């Protein structure tokens, strides 16, 4: 399915998705409440069939926290990029997609560990890399560590 048709399809499923210009992938910004439902439809509908989540990233844009999903379909060979944003830096929460794509389980734990974004309904949300009693989330832009990190 080429990008124009895919764009119509996604906007049909989630009308308030915001299209973003991107040279490489077809990118949409999805409101957090609609993400889980859209993800389920993306995987289950046979002409979309996005069954391979190949990258799940968390980004700290200072005004908001963002979770970026890169999806691909192994049958139709089309790709998609979705972003979900949350303004709340203390308790920001996004719906988990690990019941749809099992790879998200570990990736979401990593994002929680390093950026502090919570995922509701995740089966086992705890820190992955750092110790259980580590304070702070290192990949945030406001993470301060005078000993180790050199500010030039």
Identified binder of other proteins from the candidate list 45, 55, 88, 120, rule CB under 8 A: 55
Q: Does 45 bind other proteins (CB under 8 A)?
A: no
Task: Give the range of 1-9, 34-42, 86-94, 98-106 binding other proteins by CB under 8 A.
Answer: 98-106
Could you tell me the smallest distance in angstroms from the CB atom of residue 103 to other proteins?
Answer: 4
Q: Does 46 bind other proteins (CB under 8 A)?
A: no
Residue bearing tokens 């926290």 = 65
DSSP H/E element including 93? strand 93-95
Task: Tell me the C-alpha distance between 136 and 99, whole Å.
Answer: 28
Residue bearing tokens 């979705």 = 82
Q: Does 57 bind other proteins (CB under 8 A)?
A: yes
Could you tell me the smallest distance in angstroms from the CB atom of residue 70 to other proteins?
Answer: 7
Task: Tell me the C-alpha distance between 89 and 143, whole Å.
Answer: 12
**Three-state secondary-structure class, residue 100:** coil
Long-range contacts of 18-22 (CB under 8 A, 24+ apart): 20/83, 22/81
Work out the burial of residue 115: count CB atoms within 10 Å of its CB; fewer than 13 is exposed, 13-18 middle, 19 or more buried: buried
Q: Does 44 bind other proteins (CB under 8 A)?
A: no
Binding map of other proteins across residues 2-31, x = CB under 8 A, - = no contact: --------------------xxxx------
Binding-site size for other proteins (CB under 8 A) equals 37
* Interface positions with other proteins (CB under 8 A): 22-25, 51-55, 57, 59-60, 68, 70, 74, 77, 101-103, 105-107, 110, 114, 127-131, 138-139, 143, 145, 148-150, 152
């Amino acid at each position: 399915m080429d990008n124009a048709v895919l764009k119509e399809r996604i906007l049909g499923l989630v009308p308030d998705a915001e299209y973003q210009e991107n040279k490489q992938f077809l990118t949409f910004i999805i409101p957090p409440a609609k993400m889980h439902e859209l993800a389920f439809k993306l995987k289950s509908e046979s002409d979309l069939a996005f069954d391979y989540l190949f990258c799940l990233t968390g980004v700290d844009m200072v005004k908001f926290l963002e979770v970026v999903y890169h999806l691909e379909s192994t049958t139709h060979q089309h790709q998609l990029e979705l972003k979900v944003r949350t303004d709340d830096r203390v308790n920001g929460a996004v719906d988990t997609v690990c019941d749809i794509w099992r790879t998200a389980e570990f990736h979401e734990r990593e994002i929680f560990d390093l950026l502090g974004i919570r995922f509701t309904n995740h089966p086992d949300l705890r820190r992955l890399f750092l110790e259980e009693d580590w304070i702070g989330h290192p990949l945030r832009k406001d993470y301060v560590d005078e000993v180790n990190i050199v500010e030039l």
